[in-house]
Amino acid sequence: KRQVSTQSTGEESNTTKSALWAFEIFGGSTRVPIIQSTLTDYLGDVKLSRHINSDEAAAMGSAFYAALQSSSFRVTEFRLKDGLTYPVEVLVETKDDTPQTNLLFKTHSHLGSKRKLTVKSKDGANVTLSYAEPSTLPEDSFVGLAKYIVGGVPTNKEYNLTADPSITLVFRLSSSGTIDLETAEAELQVNEEVTERVRKVSNKTTNSTDEFKNATGTATGDEKTEKETNEADETKEVKDEKTDEKTDEKSEEKSDDKDKEKKNKK
């Protein structure tokens, strides 16, 4: 079983033995001779390296990662890409439909990722999380992970539903490797009758509108009359100016004639 586990690890990581040039081991179990011989048989010419403290390496890394997640400490930021070790499936059971089993998170799914699942049911659902491949687990491991009861879905007595409610389940793979049902929301299709009130138009409104039109028409007529009067006054003023100019010209001509007569007499 140890040999099978070692081979499956290489296959899942898409890494061949020929691509390896070093293999660092740490942890207390690496001191066990059977573990070392199993790794040596699998790696072949690649030698096992032990350049870090097997007892403190994992503890120090965990401490730094915990400090990075806390706001009380300031440490150099680093990113850790960790994934799920074993695949997890979800079983959804409803009263109206047959149980459905779906793969929720596959192997090496990144921690912190989300998955959505939509189920149609008017009576809620029972949700069960478990490992998808129990044969790959260590001996005496628990297969089941968690159970949830989704209820409180509105019924036809409360709303005039046209179809079964659509329940959306959101699962989150936390940074600790646990899977939680984060939210469960129901979407309803409701048929409602809407009534609108129409206001009646009274005769008073019509009369006032007619009066407004008449008043507007009269005002427009007065404006026209005033405009015509102004134009007539302007025409008279122009005529008076022309008459004055002619009178001045005649008087000038008469004065010139008198001056000529005086000169002739002299």
Instruction: Profile the chain (266 residues) by mean pLDDT over runs of 10 residues.
Output: 60 74 83 85 83 84 85 82 88 86 90 90 89 86 91 75 84 89 85 74 55 48 54 57 55 55 52
Q: What is the pLDDT of residue 47?
A: 84
Token pair 């302007």 is at which residue? 234
Cβ of 17: how many Cβ atoms within 10 Å? Answer: 13
Exposure b/e, 245-262, CB count within 10 A at least 16 = b = eeeeeeeeeeeeeeeeee
Q: What is the pLDDT of residue 173?
A: 93
Going through the chain in order, the beta strands assigned E by DSSP cover: 23-24, 48-49, 88-93, 100-105, 114-120, 125-131, 144-150, 166-173, 179-187
Nearest to 105 by CA among 126, 83, 127, 125: 83
What residues pair up with 173 in beta bridges, in sequence order? Answer: 179
Q: What is the pLDDT of residue 212?
A: 46
Whole-prediction pTM value?
A: 0.57
CA atoms within 13 A on the CB side of 114: 8
Contacts of 162 (CB under 8 A, 6+ apart): 189, 190, 191
